[in-house]
Amino acid sequence: MILNVVLVIGLIILALILYQLNSVDGLSTNEFISIAISFVCGLLLLAPLFLIFVPGMRALFYERVRRE
């Protein structure tokens, strides 16, 4: 679930950045894919920090692990 949330947030932020820059038409497909992959991978690297620093997230994670 956390992975899905991170991916959705990442894609929304990336779309907003590209919209603000008005460069969606100016980017080639390869550049767009490269930026998208880099951005989402960066967010995935930050995802464990949510488990460490946000007590509610940590509690949800451990509760889910206990159920399984």
- Give the amino acid at 35: I
Query: Which two structure tokens, joined as six digits, stand for 68?
Result: 């399984």
Q: How many other C-beta atoms can be found within 10 angstroms of the C-beta atom of residue 22?
A: 8
User: What global pTM score does this model have?
Assistant: 0.41
Look at residue 50 in the predicted model and tell me its pLDDT.
Answer: 66
Mean pLDDT of 47-58: 68
Query: Quick one: pLDDT at residue 7?
Result: 72
Model pLDDT, residue 48: 73
Residue 12 clears pLDDT 70, i.e. is over it: yes
Residue 1 confidence class, pLDDT cut points 50, 70, 90: low
What per-residue confidence (pLDDT) applies to 43? 75
